[in-house]
């Protein structure tokens, strides 16, 4: 069998292909599988919380469930999916034949998948999976408080998965900086690729710190002496949150870029305020690297003034980005496709997450909200209401490009409606529970607190989200089973990926259109209109 | 490489400003070190890009469609790390796999230079 024969299919093609599109697809499939597992853990948690008292699981099991749910969603689903989206789309958008460092990208996939399986391997150990939260707080995670191999497996798995994601970040940065098509200057790079560029900067400088922190935590568990004394746990938290806050933006910016492209495409207008957007992205990411200790306001020894100042300053670039997106919608010929609905859903729901972020970014208010369900509501509005809706906008928009088929719009709208209902039913009541003092990471609450009704509503909301995902799975199955072929540019896109076939060939382009702006296909359309008949 | 270098330098400068404000407001050593280190790192990469000439099209090497050695290398690194928990046998097996993978990668690189 020749190498060429194994190139597209076969086992060797599956495990060793350097094609950025195949690596991205494999990552998306693996991330989807991890998402399903993490979602099941969430459903179990919500089933337990539906009424006061312990009915289904023990407190220890509950600890493992929320630890693995958070770890899955952050290390194994949203972050890798965001980078996979970049791996697929960025080389196409910048007119490159392939991603920079394809072998590194391939190696990244292996590290990520093996890391994820290692984390889940903890369930097979004697003491069960890790129980020390997705943060792995020290001393909760040390050998005294978290004995057993499950915690060690978690540490090694997190380090491996993060190393893989670090490799992807480096490949993506090099692709945008060094592999652009002729005449594509940096100020002609599409908004999505810019968001991936700034995301890669954060990956490159924040992720190594987490790998180092995991190494130190592992040493601490084996021999001690690393995070000892009163300062040790604070030092661990500084190291962790130096990764832990930027990663929130790693899970956010690529989807902001996807939403920006969706809004521009389905408004029939070029992206408004492109240059302001690029400047705000650079400012936003630099600030995001500088706010991490707002997660530590309730701890002594944190420079509260500085971290509160930088956290509140985030509203400036965030405001510019919102203004640009609303400006793009303004006066546009809006088409309410499923992708556009999810993009608009992102805009509204992320706003709830962002505004509640001002609350927890203020040290005085955060003392009340700290460790309560208010915080859980805040970050689920940013990550689920925001990022996940952005992710779905991206999936619905680029699905025809990736598969060459169209998803069904009717099922897509049903998916959207159930998602909005489920997200708000699950996460909005958490603001009230947090305000009333319900702490996070508890398997039980007293009946006398009167939190039963709101918790039951949240559990019903979680079921609604599960139902919405089943509708999406049905849509995918129908679209692949009864194929409706997509044209190369079914939406009237603005950027280079729409200039090639759906799906694109191995080296992406047979010929490239001229690049004169960040919307080269829109340029072509306008040039065509201006030519005399 | 002026444009890419400017991005890194600008980002490093923004992080540098943030570090300066942190110092002015009495930041502790570790936070200053991490933020300042990132600022310096970004600036250094920017300077390195500035010094590096752009690679010509004909200097670009072809990358094979398949690279099993890259996959084996990554799996072996994962095995080495997991060996710390699962035992010496995995470390030895992974070390062998890594040696094999590095040999394969060298062969791939030699071939792509000859092509």
Task: Assess whether pLDDT exceeds 90 at residue A228.
Answer: no
Residue A514 lies inside a defined structural domain of this protein:
yes
pTM for the model = 0.95
Residue A86 lies in a domain: yes
Average pLDDT, chain A: 94
Report whether A328 contacts A269 (CB < 8 A): yes
Contacts of A282 in chain B (CB under 8 A): 7, 10-11, 14
pLDDT band at A8 (very low <50, low <70, confident <90, very high): low
pLDDT of residue B63: 73
Q: What is the pLDDT at residue A7?
A: 46
- Judge whether A293 and A302 are in contact, CB under 8 Å: yes
Measure the CA–CA gap between A154 and A131, rounded to whole angstroms: 9
Give dist(CA A239, CA A217) in Å, integer.
11
Residue at A11 is within a domain: no
For A1, A33, A120, A506, the CA distances from A158, given in Å and listed in that order, are 38, 17, 11, 32
Residue A530: pLDDT above 70? no
Q: Give domain status of residue A428, yes or no.
A: yes
Helix (H, G, I), strand (E, B) or coil at A454: helix
Q: What is the pLDDT of residue A5?
A: 39
What DSSP element (H or E) covers A508? none
Which of chain B's residues have a Cβ under 8 Å away from the Cβ of A114? 74-75, 78, 82
**Cα A101 to Cα B34: distance, rounded to the nearest angstrom:** 27
Tell me the pLDDT tens digit for each residue of A385-433.
999 999 999 999 999 999 999 999 999 999 999 999 999 999 999 999 9
Contact A12 B66 (CB under 8 A): yes
Contact B65 A149 (CB under 8 A): no
Residues of A in contact with B22 (CB under 8 A): 290, 303, 306
By the CB < 8 Å criterion, does A201 face chain B?
A: yes
Q: What is the pLDDT of residue A4?
A: 42
Mean pLDDT for A501-515 is: 93
For residue A103, the chain B residues in CB contact (below 8 A) are: 63, 67, 70, 105
A287, pLDDT greater than 60: yes
Q: Is the pLDDT of residue A261 over 90?
A: yes
Domain assignment of residue A310, yes or no: yes
Overall number of domains in chain A: 1
Integer angstrom CA distances of residue B58 from A100, A182, A258, B114, B115: 16, 15, 34, 13, 12
Helix A315-329 × helix A338-361 angle, to 10°? 160
The pLDDT value recorded for residue A6 is 39
Cβ within 8 Å of B, A 51-90:
none
Greatest extent of chain A over all pairs of C-alpha atoms, in Å: 80
> Does A359 score more than 90 pLDDT?
no
Dihedral sign from CA coordinates of A490, A495, A500, A502: negative
Cβ distance A218 to B65 less than 8 Å, yes or no, reads no
For residue B102, the Cα-to-chain-centroid distance in whole angstroms is: 17
Percent of chain A surpassing pLDDT 90: 89
Q: Is the pLDDT of residue A358 over 60?
A: yes
Contact A243, A254 (CB under 8 A): no
Structural domain contains residue A211? yes
Q: Is residue A6 part of a domain?
A: no
User: Cβ(A74)–Cβ(A251) under 8 Å?
Assistant: yes
- Give B66's strand partners: A17
Predicted confidence band at B1 (pLDDT cuts at 50, 70, 90)?
low
This model of the complex carries an ipTM of 0.94
User: Rounded CA gap, A440 and A456, in Å?
Assistant: 16
pLDDT, tens digit (0-9, with 9 covering 90-100), for B37-90: 999 999 999 999 888 866 655 556 667 889 999 999 999 999 999 999 999 999
A7 within domain boundaries: no
Instruction: Quote the pLDDT of residue A455.
Output: 97
B14 touching A (Cβ < 8 Å)? yes
CA distance linking residue A454 with residue A438, whole number of Å: 11
Of A245-259, A304-318, A355-369, A459-473, the least confident: A355-369
Kind plus residue range of the DSSP H or E element containing A6:
helix A3-8
Contact across the interface for B15 and A156, Cβ inside 8 Å: no
Lowest mean pLDDT among A311-325, A516-530, B78-92: A516-530
Range of the domain at A406: 17-530
Min Cα distance A249 → chain B (Å) is: 16
Residues 6 or more apart whose CB falls under 8 angstroms from that of B87 comprise: none
CB contact under 8 A, B64 and A6: no
Model confidence over A174-209: pLDDT tens digits?
999 999 999 999 999 999 999 999 999 999 999 999
Neighbour count for residue A234 (Cβ, 10 Å): 20
**pLDDT for the residue numbered A169:** 98
Interface test with A, best of B70, B84, B94 (most A CBs within 10 A): B70
Residue B56: the pLDDT is 57
CATH code (residue A54) = 1.20.210.10
Distance of CA A160 to the CA centre of its chain: 18
Q: What's the pLDDT band for B31 if we cut at 50, 70, 90?
A: very high
- With CA atoms as reference, the chain A residue closest to B66 would be A17
Report pLDDT for A248: 94
Q: How much is the pLDDT for A11? A: 82
Residue A524 has pLDDT above 60, yes or no: yes
Residue among A110, A185, A235 minimizing CB distance to B30: A235
Between the CA of residue B63 and those of A390, B11, B39, what are the distances in Å?
Answer: 33, 31, 33
**Closest in B14, B41, B49 to A282, CB measured:** B14
Cβ separation of B66 and A301 shorter than 8 Å? no
Name the residue with higher pLDDT: A358 or A173.
A173
* Percentage of chain A modeled with pLDDT above 70: 97
User: Looking at the predicted structure, is the pLDDT value of residue A275 above 90?
Assistant: yes
Indicate the SS3 state at residue B73: helix
Answer whether residue B107 shows pLDDT above 80.
yes
Which of A178-182, A368-372, A437-441 shows the lowest per-residue confidence on average (mean pLDDT)?
Answer: A368-372
| Residue A533: pLDDT over 60 | no
């Amino acid at each position: 069998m020749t190498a060429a024969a194994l190139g597209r299919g076969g086992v060797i093609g599956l495990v060793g292909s350097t094609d950025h599109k195949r690596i991205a697809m494999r990552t998306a499939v693996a991330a989807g599988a991890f998402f399903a597992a993490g979602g099941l853990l969430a459903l179990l948690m919500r089933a337990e919380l539906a009424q006061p008292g312990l009915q289904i699981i023990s407190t220890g099991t509950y600890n493992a469930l929320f630890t693995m749910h958070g770890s899955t969603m952050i290390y194994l689903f949203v972050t890798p999916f965001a980078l996979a989206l970049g791996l697929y789309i960025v080389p196409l958008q910048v007119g490159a034949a392939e991603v920079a460092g394809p072998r590194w990208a391939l190696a990244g996939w292996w590290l990520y998948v093996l890391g994820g399986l290692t984390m889940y391997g903890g369930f097979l150990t004697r003491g069960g999976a890790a129980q020390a939260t997705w943060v792995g707080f020290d001393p909760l995670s040390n050998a005294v408080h978290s004995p057993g191999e499950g915690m060690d497996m978690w540490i090694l798995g997190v380090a491996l998965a993060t190393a893989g994601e670090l490799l992807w970040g480096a490949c993506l940065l090099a692709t945008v900086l060094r592999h652009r098509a002729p005449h594509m200057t940096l100020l002609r790079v599409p908004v999505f690729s810019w968001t991936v560029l700034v995301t890669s900067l954060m990956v490159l400088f924040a992720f190594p710190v987490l790998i180092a922190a995991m190494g130190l935590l592992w040493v601490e568990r084996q021999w001690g002496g690393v995070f000892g004394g009163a300062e040790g746990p604070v030092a661990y938290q500084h190291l962790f949150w130096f990764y832990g806050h930027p990663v929130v933006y790693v899970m956010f910016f690529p989807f902001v870029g996807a939403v920006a492209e969706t809004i521009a495409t389905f408004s029939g207008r070029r992206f408004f305020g492109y240059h302001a957007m690029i400047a705000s992205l650079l400012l936003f990411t630099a600030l995001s690297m500088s706010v991490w200790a707002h997660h530590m306001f309730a701890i002594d020894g944190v420079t509260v003034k500085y971290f509160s100042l930088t956290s509140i300053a985030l509203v400036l670039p965030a405001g510019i980005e919102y203004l640009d997106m609303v400006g793009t919608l303004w006066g546009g010929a809006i088409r309410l496709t499923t992708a556009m609905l999810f993009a608009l859903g992102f805009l509204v729901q992320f706003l709830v997450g962002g505004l509640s972020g001002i609350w927890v970014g203020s040290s005085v208010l955060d003392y009340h909200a700290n460790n309560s369900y208010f915080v859980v509501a805040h970050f689920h509005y940013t990550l689920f209401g925001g990022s996940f809706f952005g992710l779905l906008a991206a999936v619905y928009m680029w699905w025809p490009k990736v598969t060459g088929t169209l998803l069904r719009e009717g099922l897509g709208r049903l998916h959207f409606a159930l998602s909005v209902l489920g997200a708000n039913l699950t996460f909005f009541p958490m603001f009230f529970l947090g305000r009333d003092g319900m702490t996070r990471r508890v398997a039980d609450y007293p009946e006398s607190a009167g939190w039963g009704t709101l918790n039951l509503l949240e559990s019903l909301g979680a079921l609604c989200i599960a139902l919405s995902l089943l509708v999406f799975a049905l849509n995918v199955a129908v679209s692949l089973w009864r194929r409706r072929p997509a044209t190369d540019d079914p939406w009237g896109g603005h950027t280079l990926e729409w200039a090639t076939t759906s799906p694109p060939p191995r080296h992406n382009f047979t010929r490239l259109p001229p690049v004169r702006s960040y919307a080269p296909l829109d340029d072509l359309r306008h040039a065509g209109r201006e030519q005399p008949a | 490489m002026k444009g890419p270098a400017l991005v890194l330098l600008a980002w490093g400068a923004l992080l540098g400003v943030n570090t300066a404000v942190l110092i002015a407001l009495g930041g502790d050593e570790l936070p200053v070190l991490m933020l300042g280190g990132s600022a310096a790192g970004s600036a250094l990469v920017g300077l390195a890009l500035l010094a590096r000439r752009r690679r010509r099209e004909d200097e670009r090497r072809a990358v094979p469609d398949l690279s099993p050695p890259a996959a084996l290398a990554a799996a072996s690194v994962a095995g080495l790390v997991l060996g710390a928990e699962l035992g010496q046998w995995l470390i030895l097996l992974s070390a062998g796999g890594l040696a094999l993978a590095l040999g394969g990668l060298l062969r791939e690189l030699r071939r792509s230079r000859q092509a």
